[in-house]
Structure 1
Amino acid sequence: MPTPPLLLSLLLTLLISSPTAAAASPKHDLVRRSCVHASYPDVCLRTLSSSSSSGAAATPRDLAQAAVRVSLAHVQKALEYLAAMKGSVARREQGALSDCVEQMADTMDELRKTMSALRKLRRGGGAEFRWQMSNAETWVSAALTNEETCLDGFKEIDGEVRADVRKKVTNVARVTSNALYLINLLDD
């Protein structure tokens, strides 16, 4: 039977050479460190660790851009879902649904503007950096407001449609909130 130090050495060697240890690359560590204090850390870690776009997230700016891309993808899916629902709901729900689709379209525009601002960020701070950061933060905040406004339209509506919309839009709001958090980290 191996002695305890030899056994410990063998286990340590296996652990270091395992594929799981290799997955803890500096890029993955950046995702983990950045997501730990996000509004929705589990969602942040899951969406950015599995996102093919975060594979290139070597810097906090790359990670913030990946988070905005994730948010854009979620908004696009929600928009498609909501637009498809419009023809199959009662008249009362159609108005709220139309308003929500419009809010989500505005959210897409604001997130695209956010991506543009993030691409223009220059290192070293300065007036241009502050300006682009302010724009990015403002547009993501506006996107979150749109998502809340969409849900407000369903306050007086009960049932399955409300629950479905709430689920889709809440999912979008979570990834958007995480994107805002990661953008705010760029100021530090």
Structure 2
Amino acid sequence: MLATKTNTEYIKIACDATMYPKLCYHSLTIYANKIKTNPKELATTALNITLKATKSTSRMMIKMSKIPGLMPKEAVEAMTDCIEVINDSVDELQQSIEEMGDIKSSNFGVIMSDIQTWVSAALTDEDTCMDGLKGKPMNTNVKTMLRRHVVKVSHLTSNALALVNTYASTNPASP
């Protein structure tokens, strides 16, 4: 029990440094026994959670875009563009997770720089998606649901980037 308490306290303190600390804490505490007090595991877990949510959002958007008559043609085109950039985000997050597994002390700085770039690009893609949907004629309920999903993914990505940045600043001798 003490180890679990220490682990969750570690997550809380780490999440306090993110833009969305409540979301960070609630998404990561269920993995406290896996994360322990390891900053690399914390960042990797945050990336995995973000990837899962981003994939789910992409699948939901693809399904919605195929429902006949749900959106006007202009909105479907915006949704198609949004799906494309969200899928780019998925690719960037997957690449980041793969690279986290390949970090060695000899290549730490270079790999972390790449990961920070990819996660930042994923965040930009999500913002691009939201910008593309603005002002498009769309059912209010559909637009609200899309916005809620993309904003959540964007917040998770922002938190993951903050935790990656924290890990990058540690530059451990043996990650």
Establish whether TM, by shorter chain, passes 0.5: yes
Tell whether 2:72 aligns with 1:90: yes
Q: What SS does structure 2 have at the residue aligned with 1:120?
A: coil
Q: CA deviation at 1:122?
A: 2.3
| TM-score, with structure 1 as normaliser | 0.81
Is the 2:4–2:33 contact (alpha carbons within 8 Å) kept by the matching residues of 1?
no
| TM-score, with structure 2 as normaliser | 0.87
1:77-121 Cα distance to aligned partner (Å, 9 max, x none): 101110110023221110011011111111110001111121122
Stretches of 4+ moved more than 4 A in 1?
none
- Greater CA radius of gyration, 1 or 2? 1
Aligned position for 1:13: none
Q: CA deviation at 1:55?
A: 3.0
Question: Among the aligned pairs, what percent are the same residue?
Answer: 29
Q: What SS does structure 2 have at the residue aligned with 1:139?
A: helix
Residues in 2 aligned to 1:55 and 1:110: alpha-carbon distance in whole angstroms: 27
Residues in 1 aligned to 2:7 and 2:75: alpha-carbon distance in whole angstroms: 44
Residues in 2 aligned to 1:35 and 1:184: alpha-carbon distance in whole angstroms: 12
Tell whether 2:158 aligns with 1:182: no
Is the 1:30–1:60 contact (alpha carbons within 8 Å) kept by the matching residues of 2?
no
1:111-148 Cα distance to aligned partner (Å, 9 max, x none): 0111112112224xx5x111101000000000000000
Q: Aligned in 2, Cα 1:23/1:130: closer, same or farther, shift over 3 Å?
A: closer
Is the 1:68–1:111 contact (alpha carbons within 8 Å) kept by the matching residues of 2?
yes
Query: In the alignment, which of 10, 26, 34 is matched to residue 56 of structure 1?
Result: 34
Name which of structure 1's ranges 137-146 and 154-163 shifts more when overlaid on structure 2: 154-163
Aligned position for 1:157: 136
Aligned position for 1:39: 19
Unaligned runs of 5+ in 2: 171-175
CA root-mean-square deviation:
1.6
